[in-house]
């Protein structure tokens, strides 16, 4: 079985744009609210909801620590809604994504890996192939905004080759 090596790069709006949006105050406009006690960074991303569903806010607590190098064996996607992950404790986390090769398959030869600076979240667009949450600290809490509703909304693709994420 062959092996694909993917190097981790810093997360930025430009290098993540193909897969979704970076959620961050950095380099975004704001306006003051609450008698100028609060800067509001308004509508940084849009939640995508397809079908009979609504947006929900959940907390995901990751209880397993990630270490690099890391072998991954799969990616998943949510075809009927976006999924946003926002770190609640200022913790860095690993973001692994791939563009679609065709309607049913990620292009695993174009897997990309990013590291959040701990103050950035991500919003995966509906249908974006991504790895489940990978954190460098455990336990680690994330606010998650995603589709809550009926019907199928998670496709999983198992890799035919080894994919290794390197620091």
pLDDT in tens, the chain (167 residues): 789 999 999 999 999 999 999 999 999 999 999 999 999 999 999 999 999 999 999 999 999 999 999 999 999 999 999 999 999 999 999 999 999 999 999 999 999 999 999 999 999 999 999 999 999 999 999 999 999 999 999 999 999 999 999 99
Specify the 3-state DSSP secondary structure of 48: coil
Tokens coding 86: 């926002």
Domains and their CATH numbers in the chain: 3-166 (2.60.120.480)
Q: What distance in Å separates the CA atoms of residue 133 and residue 124, rounded to the nearest whole number?
A: 12
The reported pTM is: 0.95
Q: How many residues are given for the chain? A: 167
Report in angstroms the alpha-carbon separations of 60 from 128, 140, 152. 19, 8, 20
């Amino acid at each position: 079985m062959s092996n694909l090596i993917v190097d981790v790069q810093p997360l930025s709006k430009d290098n993540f744009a193909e897969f979704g949006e970076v959620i961050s105050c950095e380099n975004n406009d704001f306006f003051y609210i609450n008698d100028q006690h609060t800067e509001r960074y308004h509508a940084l991303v849009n939640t995508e909801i397809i079908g009979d569903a609504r947006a929900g806010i959940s907390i995901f607590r990751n209880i397993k620590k990630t270490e690099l190098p890391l072998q991954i064996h799969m990616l998943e996607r949510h075809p009927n809604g976006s999924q946003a992950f926002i770190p609640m404790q200022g913790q860095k986390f690993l973001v692994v994504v791939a563009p679609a090769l065709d309607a049913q398959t990620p292009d695993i030869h174009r897997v990309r890996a990013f590291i959040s600076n701990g103050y950035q979240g991500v919003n995966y667009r509906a249908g974006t192939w991504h790895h489940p949450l990978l954190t460098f600290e455990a336990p680690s809490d994330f606010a998650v905004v995603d589709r809550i509703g009926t019907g199928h909304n998670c496709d999983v693709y198992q890799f035919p080759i080894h994919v290794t994420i390197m620091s």
